[in-house]
Amino acid sequence: MCKIDFLDTGLCKSGAEKHYVSFYPQGRMDLYAALAENRIPVTEKCIEIADTCDLCGICDYQCYFVTEMKPSLVMKALKEHIKLHLDSGGEILAAESDSILDGLKEIVGDYWATSDRAVALTYSHDPSPVAGPRLPEYVIMPDSTSEISAVIKALNSHKIPYAVRGNGSSVMGFVMSEGAVIDLGRMKSIEFDEKNWMVKVGPGVAAFELQKAAVKRGFRVNVAEPSALVCANIMCSGIFSLFSASYGTAADNYIDAEFVGHDGEVFRLSDKSAPNLFAYKKEDSTVPGICSSAYIRLHPVTSDEGAAFVPFDSLEGALDFARDCAMRRIGLAIGVLGGEYLSVFLSPTKKLAAEVKDIFREKLKIEYLVLVIGDKFALRSVKEMGYNYFDNRMMRILNLGLPSLSSAKWLDIIDELSAEKPYSYLGLKHFPDLAELALEPSPAKLVRDVDPELRSFFEKLYSKPEMTDPVWLNMFRVVSSRMGREKHVIPMIIYLPIDNKLISEINSEFKRIADSHGLKNDYGFITPLDDGKRCVFEYDYYLDQNDPDERMKMQQAMMEAGMMIERYSAETGTVTWIRYVFSQGFSRKESFLYSTQ
Amino acid sequence: MTRIKKGVIDKYLLTGATGFLGSHIMAGLLLKGKSVVIIGRSSAELPLKERIRKLLRWFGIEHLEGFLEFHETDFLKKNLGLGNDEYEHLCIERLPIIHCASDTSFAEKNRERVMKSNVGSLTEILNFACRSKTRCFHFISTAFAAGTGTTEYHETPVNSANFTNVYEESKAHAENIITVRCIENEVPYTIIRPSIVYGDSVNGRSLKFNALYVPVRATLVIRDIYLVDVRKNNGQKAAECGIHLDIDGALHLPMKIFIPDKGKINLIPVDYFTKTVLSIIEKPISGTFYHITSNNPANMERLAAYTQRLLNITGIEVVIGTPGSDETRNAPEELFDHLIKPYMPYISDKRIFKRENTDRVTCSAYPPDLSYEIFEKCMAFAISADWGKKLFYS
């Protein structure tokens, strides 16, 4: 998340200028750990990486928002480590002469290809429990399709294997290689073609950056996690979000794309002679090449959009409603969320999340929430369907008043307020007035437990309307990053019909498997697809990637979960594991949602 | 009517002993030196025995636990879910049965659950009553099982088909089933119909805080919300609803409570209920219905006045009728309306419950009127028990 400006603080200055992940807080943390453990020597780049950190503290704001950690402590430690090393006359490892590297530098420019171990280290691992670290020989940052093409040809000629890296947010070991890592982070072009309702994006553009640019022009795009790169995301498994309920997924999200094939040749998907990436085959696939740009669909936005969080005490009830909305084409974004959404995502600290966690389940009796984002007509329809919900105003009150929730006396009469009909109090015209009075919401209140050094920043942050606007939050997905606040998330994702019994069974199985290995786990979300005929279901397993024992348990759990999915897939003929969509994200969704066999 | 065979009964079988009324009957029996066989269920948190122990401590009679016998049962299962030996052993004792277990939800959304609990479960309980040739089957029903339609209700079987809610309906249905089965099988029975039961008139203690307590609690919550606004924010939001602090420190909380009729609220304290039930089961007359009701019910105006005095507020006005279409309801009024909606039929109730049979048993000892002193005691206890949250710590 430190590579996107999601808090409007500006980016880490050196990262934005030098682009290598090594110059971002994320890379510096990895580097310091390796230096402290004597895993790498001090190199020329080490000195540059340490020197270019001006200890501005932006990374503290960003990282604290997501994980409550303050990386500037590590940045300081890195600078001190290098200073001590230099002061004591320590050796500085210079880059060795290498004809292959020289050739790569000729293509991309001197600065944008390196074999420096300090840089290579920051590209050597991810939190995947199934892939160990791999230190690349070279890291290359091309700036154009022609440069990518030339780099591929050069690597092929030397038989050097390579991996392509977006933002490194793939967490399954796909972006590592002992040969070369091609980092596309410099290719950040965004070109709008409004009359054709599309935007051409370079492979280094992150979801947040594209959405921000689109919103500025009055559009919306369907993108995934804010730090995920758009092209890489499509390439990997296709983009799905709660907006996929209306915008679709996979091939629905783009109009055309440009690729550099494994042979280094460039092709466009719209070329008649191009490989047919719209086709799909249920198999473990490899990527068809490097997506060097994609033409993403733009969607209209109306000024009357709002959110409805409809509470449910059972998954079945939530699924029925979500399916009904999708079938009737009510709402743009639809998601069946777990009850923890309100506590974990909205709380700025773990402490507050823990305090309010049980309130939603035990006092408010909210097990699941169906989020519907739509225009005023869609929201009116939800009301007419007989459902009461937390609207934008109530969500703002709840969010900024979260710290008062555990002591709110009025919650004690919630049972009486719901006696006739569950959550009927949400239908009272003046309920938000009373809730506002009782919870006394304010940005200052929400951040009262935040680190005192950062508190005033966060108070200002939460004073911004968008930070409590459910539509904005779901478009940009900045708060959902908090799900990994305590442990790394391994999402288990499947496509299947919205069949209550089937989903309940699989949900229970996911839980049973993780519980049997003592792994933290939780329901993720379900979003209807294709008019509610299918859905995408995410169940999350959590991992401490630094704990070897937990990595082993996770491997076992993932294997068992995989076998379970395969069993349901064989029995029903309607369940598709995302494993078989990997590398086929440009295909038509119909191909993997339905079977013609 | 036939009097049931004479003889001192020193042991009863009781269902619903973990509930409000059932626990008071249990305590009453124990204090009279009787033994009680408890049949019931464990909760998710506690086994049956522990649930009862908690109650014994609450009543201050834990030393009488030795007079209790426990049987874990499931009324929906054959032979109450008991093993053959245990079941037969219980049958042999021919104990009088007090069936008090009940689901008291009024909500239509809970219809299936309420009917299952209050009607569906009767089959096995009555099978047991017949099989054991119980000395008498006492059914704790409700005065409101009489239904609606007329104003005067006698202590006779239900002949109304109109009910205010599923609870009343289920109780009426149960009464009819019990009557038919008991007559067919020559099992002596009584039907005991209390009205709305609140806390103890002597010490204010209660185990349940619904009905009478709900509007008071709601008013307290509303008062406290606005008091914070008045004290912290100069009452800006409060002023929008015409709420302000009076000179004498009382909160002026203008709330019109609309009730459809100038009716009454038939309330009895739990100590009176218990005493009357014990009198009935001591000398029961088979086939008899007993109304344990107030002969001088309170009205909403009186309760509103009590509430204002208790909470140091002014401005509550009880209005007969329904709000006009041009009547705008402020936030407290809207919340209050919503909260008391399920109780509306009971707070403007025109039904009069005749109680000749009960008068005969109690020698015309009537329940005490709900005076302010009793009301205050009950509400003080409720507040000290945090409306049930601190019930077992107070």
Q: What percent of chain B has pLDDT over 70?
A: 97
* Per-residue pLDDT tens over the stretch A283-313: 887 878 999 999 999 999 999 999 999 999 9
Cβ pair A431:B335 closer than 8 A: yes
Cβ pair A420:B341 closer than 8 A: yes
- Distance in Å, alpha carbon of A359 to nearest chain B alpha carbon: 15
Nearest CA in chain B to A414: B339
Residue A287 tokens, joined: 């990527």
Which of A365, A417, A429, A434 is best to mutate for the B interface (most B CBs within 10 A)?
A434
Give A172 or B354, the one with higher predicted confidence.
B354
Cβ pair B226:A437 closer than 8 A: yes
Name the strands in the sheet holding A254-261, side by side, starting at the edge strand that comes first in the sequence: A190-193, A198-201, A289-297, A254-261, A266-268
Mapped onto helix, strand or coil, the DSSP state of residue A312 is: strand
Mapped onto helix, strand or coil, the DSSP state of residue A532 is: coil
Residue with token string 């005929």? A533
| pLDDT of B6 | 60
Residue A157 tokens, joined: 């000629």
Residue B243 tokens, joined: 């709420």
Q: How do the pLDDT tens digits run along chain A, 597 residues long?
A: 888 899 999 999 999 999 999 999 999 999 999 999 999 999 999 999 999 999 999 999 999 999 999 999 999 999 999 999 999 998 998 877 899 999 999 999 999 999 999 999 999 887 777 777 889 999 999 999 999 999 999 999 999 999 998 776 566 666 778 899 999 999 999 999 999 999 999 999 999 999 999 999 999 999 998 989 999 999 888 999 999 999 999 999 999 999 999 999 999 999 999 999 888 888 887 878 999 999 999 999 999 999 999 999 999 999 999 999 999 999 999 999 987 777 888 899 989 988 888 888 888 889 999 999 999 999 999 999 999 999 999 999 999 999 998 888 777 788 778 777 889 899 999 999 989 998 999 999 999 999 999 999 999 999 999 999 999 999 998 888 888 888 888 999 999 999 999 999 999 999 999 999 999 999 999 999 999 999 999 999 999 888 999 999 999 999 999 999 999 999 999 999 999 998 888 999 999 999 765
The ranges assigned to domains in chain A are 190-300, 301-485
* Per-residue pLDDT tens over the stretch A166-181: 776 566 666 778 899 9
Judge whether A436 and A397 are in contact, CB under 8 Å.
yes
Q: How many CB atoms lie within 10 A of CB A265?
A: 12
> Going by C-beta distance under 8 Å and a sequence separation of 6 or more, which residues neighbour residue A351?
A449
Judge whether A327 and A245 are in contact, CB under 8 Å.
no
* Per-residue pLDDT tens over the stretch B228-266: 899 888 888 899 889 999 989 999 999 999 998 888 999
Which of B212, B338, B339, B389 is best to mutate for the A interface (most A CBs within 10 A)?
B338
Using a CB–CB cutoff of 8 Å, tell me whether B113 touches chain A: no
Angle, CA of A146, A150 and A156, to the nearest 5°: 145
Burial class (CB in 10 A: 0-12, 13-18, 19+), B83: exposed
Domains of chain B, start order: 7-194 (3.40.50.720), 213-262+299-347 (no CATH)
Q: How many CB atoms lie within 10 A of CB A216?
A: 9
Residue A96 has what DSSP assignment?
A: P
User: Nearest CB to B217: which of A413, A421, A437?
Assistant: A413
Which of B106, B110, B335, B336 is best to mutate for the A interface (most A CBs within 10 A)?
B335
Residue with token string 């509930």? B19
Residue B2 has pLDDT above 60, yes or no: no
* DSSP assignment of B6-58: -S---EEEEE-TTSHHHHHHHHHHHHTT-EEEEEE---SSS-HHHHHHHHHHH
Nearest CA in chain A to B211: A416
Confidence of residue B390 (pLDDT cuts 50, 70, 90): confident
Cβ pair B109:A416 closer than 8 A: no
Distance CA(A291)–CA(A230), nearest Å, equals 10
Which of A433, A436, A442 is best to mutate for the B interface (most B CBs within 10 A)?
A433
Nearest CA in chain B to A434: B331
ipTM at complex level: 0.80
Judge whether B134 and B125 are in contact, CB under 8 Å.
no
Q: How many CA atoms lie within 13 A of A98 on its CB side?
A: 15
Cβ pair B107:A424 closer than 8 A: no
Tell me the mean pLDDT in the region B259-281: 94
- Distance in Å, alpha carbon of A576 to nearest chain B alpha carbon: 37
Mapped onto helix, strand or coil, the DSSP state of residue A15 is: helix
Q: How many CA atoms lie within 13 A of A434 on its CB side?
A: 27
Could you tell me the end-to-end alpha-carbon distance of chain A, in angstroms, rounded to an integer?
Answer: 42
- CATH class for the region spanning A190-300: alpha beta
Q: In chain A, what residues touch B226 (CB-CB under 8 Å)?
A: 437
Cβ pair B237:A436 closer than 8 A: yes
Burial class (CB in 10 A: 0-12, 13-18, 19+), B335: buried
Distance CA(A109)–CA(A166), nearest Å, equals 20
Cβ pair B218:A420 closer than 8 A: no
Residue A166 tokens, joined: 């977006």
Nearest CA in chain B to A420: B107
Using a CB–CB cutoff of 8 Å, tell me whether B278 touches chain A: no
Judge whether B384 and B394 are in contact, CB under 8 Å.
yes
Cβ pair B225:A438 closer than 8 A: yes
| pLDDT of A343 | 81
Nearest CA in chain A to B108: A420
* Per-residue pLDDT tens over the stretch B155-186: 999 887 889 899 999 999 999 999 999 999 99
Antiparallel, parallel or unpaired: β A162-165 and A180-183: parallel
Residue A430 tokens, joined: 């003046």
Confidence of residue B394 (pLDDT cuts 50, 70, 90): very low
- Supply φ then ψ for residue A220, to 5 degrees: -140, 150
Confidence of residue B1 (pLDDT cuts 50, 70, 90): very low
